[in-house]
Amino acid sequence: MIKSIHHGVNILDGKVFSKFKDAGIRASAGFDSSIFTAREMDMIGTVAEGLSNREIAEKLFISEGTVKNHISTILEKGNLSHRTQVAVYYLTGRK
């Protein structure tokens, strides 16, 4: 699972994300967006949608390497360990 997360593979069931997608994915009130740039917020939203690094790169018209760099910065700024925590924090406001 850790290797999958590291390589940008979605490890959560697609049904979970489809429920969020149907409801409209948006940041929880407990999520502090002030520490992230607008581009990082774009990244966080796509991670919360369950997109892989490749899918994010295609959606935002950037390289996979750039996606990985942004995600690394997001993890550091948010004091988070992995991309699943990014999605949980964004959706619930809890780390």
Q: Where are the domains of the chain?
A: 2-92
Whether the pTM exceeds 0.75: the reply is no
Of the options 3.30.420.480, 3.90.550.10, 1.10.10.10, 3.90.79.10, the CATH number for the domain spanning 2-92: 1.10.10.10
How confident is the model at residue 91, as a pLDDT? 87
Query: If you ran DSSP here, which 8-state letter would residue 35 be given?
Result: G
Checking if the pLDDT of 8 tops 60, the result is no
How confident is the model at residue 85, as a pLDDT? 93
Mean pLDDT throughout 29-56? 91
| Residue 71 contacts residue 40 (beta carbons within 8 Å) | no
How confident is the model at residue 56, as a pLDDT? 94
CA nearest to 20, candidates 52, 48, 57: 48
Checking if the pLDDT of 80 tops 90, the result is yes
**High-pLDDT (> 90) share of the chain, %:** 55
Between the CA atoms of 47, 49, 50 and 55, what dihedral angle is there, to the nearest 10 degrees? -80
Residues 52 and 55: their CA atoms lie apart, in Å, by 5
